[in-house]
């Protein structure tokens, strides 16, 4: 991909993800500006969704497990923990990744997503070319960090 095409694809990824989160998570949301990160990532809890096709990389949703539990509570009427929280977190990643793939296809960019990988404990990731990140802030100052690891 040429540099301008690459920049356009990144913009579509960001906008598609934001649209997907707004459509799926029924909570008030504030978004930070996207930023380019240069350090390796260390995450407390999260979901990794691989992206293949016209754009290659990974989408990561990360935050304290309480953030995922509070989203589950709003969506299903009860907080989740343990295996149920792990399962829900993976499904939330699938829903957001699927919404992203659908949204970005309207722009002529075709991507597929891989099954979710759950990361718990202090997980450190490295080995990617570029990381773009933004925060989704929900009520009660609960933050969901969104990362795109691009190759």
Helix (H, G, I), strand (E, B) or coil at 129: coil
pTM: 0.92
pLDDT of residue 117: 96
Tell me if 68 sits within 8 A of 76, measured CB to CB. no
pLDDT of residue 63: 94
Name beta bridge partners: 42. 124
Residues of the chain with pLDDT under 70: 1-5
Name beta bridge partners: 138. 142
pLDDT of residue 40: 83
pLDDT of residue 4: 61
pLDDT of residue 32: 95
pLDDT of residue 115: 96
For the chain, what is the radius of gyration of the CA atoms?
15
Domains of the chain: 3-150 (3.40.1550.10)
Secondary structure element (H or E) that encloses residue 58, with its range? strand 57-62
Tell me if 127 sits within 8 A of 48, measured CB to CB. no
Place of tokens 């080995």: 127
pLDDT of residue 145: 96
């Amino acid at each position: 991909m040429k540099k301008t095409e690459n920049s356009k694809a990144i913009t579509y990824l960001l906008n598609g993800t934001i649209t997907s989160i707004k459509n799926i998570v029924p909570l008030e949301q504030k978004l930070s500006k996207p930023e380019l990160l240069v350090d390796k990532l260390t995450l407390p809890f999260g979901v990794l969704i691989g992206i293949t096709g016209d754009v290659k990389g990974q989408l990561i949703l990360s935050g304290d497990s309480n953030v995922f539990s509070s989203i589950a509570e709003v969506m299903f009427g009860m907080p989740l923990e343990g295996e149920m929280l792990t399962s829900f977190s993976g499904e939330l990643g699938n829903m957001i990744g699927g919404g992203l793939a659908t949204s970005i296809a309207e722009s002529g960019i075709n991507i597929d997503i891989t099954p979710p990988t759950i990361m718990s404990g202090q997980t450190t990731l490295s080995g990617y070319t570029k990381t773009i990140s933004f925060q989704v802030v929900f009520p009660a100052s609960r933050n969901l960090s969104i990362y795109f690891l691009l190759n």
